[in-house]
Amino acid sequence: MKITDTIGSVLKRKGEITIQYIAPEQSVYEGLEMMARYDIGALLVCSNNRLVGILSERDYARKGVLKGHHSKETHVSEIMTSPVLFVSPQHTVDECMSMMTEHHFRHLPVLEHDKVVGVISIGDLVKWVISGQEQTIQDLHGYIVGAYPG
Protein backbone atom coordinates (compact mmCIF):
# COMPACT_ATOMS: atom_id res chain seq x y z
CA MET A 1 0.00 0.00 0.00
CA LYS A 2 1.78 3.02 -1.34
CA ILE A 3 0.85 6.60 -2.10
CA THR A 4 1.38 5.78 -5.76
CA ASP A 5 -1.42 3.17 -5.67
CA THR A 6 -4.64 3.98 -7.48
CA ILE A 7 -7.93 5.02 -5.95
CA GLY A 8 -9.41 1.98 -7.68
CA SER A 9 -7.25 -0.17 -5.37
CA VAL A 10 -8.47 1.75 -2.32
CA LEU A 11 -12.10 1.30 -3.37
CA LYS A 12 -11.57 -2.45 -3.86
CA ARG A 13 -10.08 -2.70 -0.37
CA LYS A 14 -13.02 -0.77 1.12
CA GLY A 15 -15.37 -3.38 -0.34
CA GLU A 16 -19.00 -2.93 -1.24
CA ILE A 17 -20.26 0.27 0.36
CA THR A 18 -23.59 1.89 -0.40
CA ILE A 19 -23.20 5.48 -1.55
CA GLN A 20 -25.73 7.86 -0.01
CA TYR A 21 -27.42 10.42 -2.27
CA ILE A 22 -29.80 13.30 -1.76
CA ALA A 23 -31.73 15.44 -4.25
CA PRO A 24 -31.06 19.19 -4.48
CA GLU A 25 -34.71 20.01 -3.71
CA GLN A 26 -34.73 18.04 -0.45
CA SER A 27 -34.32 19.91 2.82
CA VAL A 28 -30.99 20.29 4.56
CA TYR A 29 -32.67 18.73 7.60
CA GLU A 30 -33.32 15.54 5.62
CA GLY A 31 -29.66 15.52 4.64
CA LEU A 32 -28.56 15.91 8.24
CA GLU A 33 -30.85 13.05 9.26
CA MET A 34 -29.27 10.83 6.59
CA MET A 35 -25.74 11.75 7.65
CA ALA A 36 -26.59 10.93 11.27
CA ARG A 37 -28.34 7.66 10.34
CA TYR A 38 -25.41 6.40 8.28
CA ASP A 39 -22.69 8.02 10.41
CA ILE A 40 -21.17 9.85 7.44
CA GLY A 41 -19.94 13.40 6.94
CA ALA A 42 -21.17 14.10 3.42
CA LEU A 43 -23.85 13.20 0.88
CA LEU A 44 -23.63 13.28 -2.88
CA VAL A 45 -26.27 15.51 -4.44
CA CYS A 46 -27.73 14.04 -7.63
CA SER A 47 -30.36 15.23 -10.07
CA ASN A 48 -31.49 13.12 -13.05
CA ASN A 49 -28.79 10.55 -12.20
CA ARG A 50 -26.04 13.17 -12.48
CA LEU A 51 -23.76 14.42 -9.74
CA VAL A 52 -24.54 18.11 -9.22
CA GLY A 53 -23.06 18.79 -5.80
CA ILE A 54 -21.94 17.52 -2.45
CA LEU A 55 -23.44 18.38 0.95
CA SER A 56 -21.10 18.14 3.92
CA GLU A 57 -21.38 18.89 7.60
CA ARG A 58 -19.00 21.76 6.93
CA ASP A 59 -21.39 23.19 4.30
CA TYR A 60 -24.16 23.11 6.87
CA ALA A 61 -22.07 24.76 9.58
CA ARG A 62 -20.66 27.52 7.38
CA LYS A 63 -23.41 28.19 4.86
CA GLY A 64 -26.41 27.18 6.92
CA VAL A 65 -26.09 27.83 10.63
CA LEU A 66 -23.72 30.79 10.45
CA LYS A 67 -25.90 32.53 7.86
CA GLY A 68 -29.09 31.96 9.82
CA HIS A 69 -30.68 29.39 7.49
CA HIS A 70 -33.08 26.96 9.12
CA SER A 71 -32.38 23.38 8.07
CA LYS A 72 -36.05 22.43 7.65
CA GLU A 73 -36.71 25.43 5.39
CA THR A 74 -33.50 25.38 3.34
CA HIS A 75 -33.04 23.26 0.23
CA VAL A 76 -29.83 21.30 -0.22
CA SER A 77 -29.17 23.23 -3.44
CA GLU A 78 -28.86 26.47 -1.43
CA ILE A 79 -25.83 25.36 0.59
CA MET A 80 -24.26 22.44 -1.28
CA THR A 81 -20.80 22.70 -2.79
CA SER A 82 -21.03 22.88 -6.56
CA PRO A 83 -19.40 22.22 -8.94
CA VAL A 84 -17.89 19.13 -7.38
CA LEU A 85 -14.26 18.20 -7.77
CA PHE A 86 -13.96 14.48 -8.44
CA VAL A 87 -11.40 11.89 -9.44
CA SER A 88 -11.30 8.71 -11.48
CA PRO A 89 -10.23 5.28 -10.21
CA GLN A 90 -6.90 5.84 -12.01
CA HIS A 91 -5.89 8.79 -9.82
CA THR A 92 -3.29 8.00 -7.16
CA VAL A 93 -3.61 8.21 -3.40
CA ASP A 94 -0.99 10.97 -3.42
CA GLU A 95 -2.87 13.02 -6.04
CA CYS A 96 -6.08 12.77 -4.05
CA MET A 97 -4.43 13.67 -0.75
CA SER A 98 -2.87 16.72 -2.40
CA MET A 99 -6.19 17.78 -3.92
CA MET A 100 -8.05 17.37 -0.63
CA THR A 101 -5.38 19.28 1.29
CA GLU A 102 -5.23 22.11 -1.25
CA HIS A 103 -9.01 22.57 -1.43
CA HIS A 104 -9.73 21.86 2.26
CA PHE A 105 -12.30 19.11 1.87
CA ARG A 106 -12.63 15.64 3.31
CA HIS A 107 -14.69 13.72 0.75
CA LEU A 108 -13.99 13.10 -2.91
CA PRO A 109 -16.40 11.42 -5.32
CA VAL A 110 -14.91 8.86 -7.70
CA LEU A 111 -16.47 8.88 -11.17
CA GLU A 112 -15.95 6.61 -14.14
CA HIS A 113 -17.65 7.55 -17.41
CA ASP A 114 -19.81 10.14 -15.59
CA LYS A 115 -21.06 7.47 -13.16
CA VAL A 116 -20.30 7.58 -9.43
CA VAL A 117 -18.38 4.44 -8.46
CA GLY A 118 -17.37 5.47 -4.95
CA VAL A 119 -16.48 8.14 -2.45
CA ILE A 120 -13.06 8.46 -0.85
CA SER A 121 -12.60 10.21 2.48
CA ILE A 122 -9.39 11.63 3.86
CA GLY A 123 -9.70 8.94 6.54
CA ASP A 124 -9.65 6.22 3.85
CA LEU A 125 -6.46 7.66 2.42
CA VAL A 126 -4.75 8.04 5.80
CA LYS A 127 -5.60 4.40 6.65
CA TRP A 128 -4.15 3.31 3.30
CA VAL A 129 -0.88 5.15 3.90
CA ILE A 130 -0.58 3.93 7.50
CA SER A 131 -1.15 0.31 6.42
CA GLY A 132 1.64 0.67 3.89
CA GLN A 133 3.97 2.12 6.50
CA GLU A 134 3.14 -0.69 8.95
CA GLN A 135 4.01 -3.28 6.29
CA THR A 136 7.31 -1.53 5.55
CA ILE A 137 8.16 -1.45 9.27
CA GLN A 138 7.39 -5.18 9.60
CA ASP A 139 9.54 -5.96 6.56
CA LEU A 140 12.44 -3.88 7.89
CA HIS A 141 12.13 -5.44 11.35
CA GLY A 142 12.21 -8.89 9.80
CA TYR A 143 15.30 -7.97 7.83
CA ILE A 144 17.08 -6.61 10.91
CA VAL A 145 16.41 -9.67 13.05
CA GLY A 146 17.34 -12.04 10.22
CA ALA A 147 13.88 -13.31 9.37
CA TYR A 148 13.87 -11.64 5.96
CA PRO A 149 13.57 -14.21 3.18
CA GLY A 150 16.40 -13.93 0.70
- What's the mean per-residue pLDDT of the chain? 90
The SS3 call for residue 102 is helix
Give the least confident one: 1-10, 33-42, 140-149.
140-149
Over residues 19-44, the mean pLDDT reads 96
Q: What are phi and psi of 42, to 5 degrees?
A: -160, 155
Cis-peptide, bond into residue 89, ω within 30° of zero: no
Measure the CA–CA gap between 73 and 95, rounded to whole angstroms.
38
Residue 139 has pLDDT above 60, yes or no: yes
Over residues 37-61, the mean pLDDT reads 95
Contacts of 59 (CB under 8 A, 6+ apart): 79, 80, 81
pLDDT for the residue 148: 54
Reported pTM: 0.83
Measure the CA–CA gap between 19 and 44, rounded to whole angstroms.
8
pLDDT digits (tens, 9 = 90+) for 108-136: 999 999 899 999 999 999 988 887 666 66
pLDDT digits (tens, 9 = 90+) for 96-110: 999 999 999 999 999
Angle between helices 7-14 and 122-144 (to 10 degrees): 90
pLDDT for the residue 134: 67
